Amino acid sequence: MTVDAKALAAGLTSAVPFARTVGIEIVDVTVGGDGIRAVATLPDEERLHNHVAGPHAGALFALGETASGAVVMAAFGPHLALGTPLAVRADIAYKKLAVGPVRATATLGRGVDEVLAELSNGERPEFPVTIEITRADGAVTTEMTVVWTIRPHR
């Protein structure tokens, strides 16, 4: 499956204006043999800082959740006639101080066909997207999992 990363990014930031508001940019979407992955960045801007001059926890969460949304759209965008993707819950762990621009890499945790089979059987599937947020030196500052579902259209 081929994904137009620029079109996906434009569609996502159009549908979710908050991501655009804080300056999140989706810079890569990959669909291949090793799964589905998306990379998003958050600029280093004072307006996004916390009390220790790094990105605010809410900005980091928004970055990770947006990257996870890009993965979901890459995986299930062609199947939106079947249902609406929704985030169900999230878990986030702040590991190290994030300073400067940061980058979130999100990866789909289940197979697309498996999720679509559950949806076709009338179930409301859930699937995890794992995210690592790193700073420019490569250090992992934040680990996150967002569990998504696809709510079937009735």
Per residue in 97-139, pLDDT (tens digit) is: 999 999 999 999 999 999 999 999 989 999 999 999 999 999 9
Q: Which pLDDT band holds residue 9 (cuts at 50, 70, 90)?
A: confident
The pLDDT of residue 2 is above 80: no
In this structure, what are the phi and psi dihedrals at residue 60, rounded to the nearest 5 degrees? -65, -40
- Residue among 129, 56, 36 nearest 98 (CA): 56
Domain ranges of the chain: 5-152
The pLDDT of residue 1 is above 70: no
Q: Which pLDDT band holds residue 4 (cuts at 50, 70, 90)?
A: confident
Separation between Cα atoms, residue 14 and residue 37, nearest integer Å: 20
Separation between Cα atoms, residue 108 and residue 36, nearest integer Å: 6
Q: Output the CATH code of domain 5-152.
A: 3.10.129.10
The chain-wide mean pLDDT, for the chain, equals 93
Is 71 in a helix, a strand, or coil?
A: helix
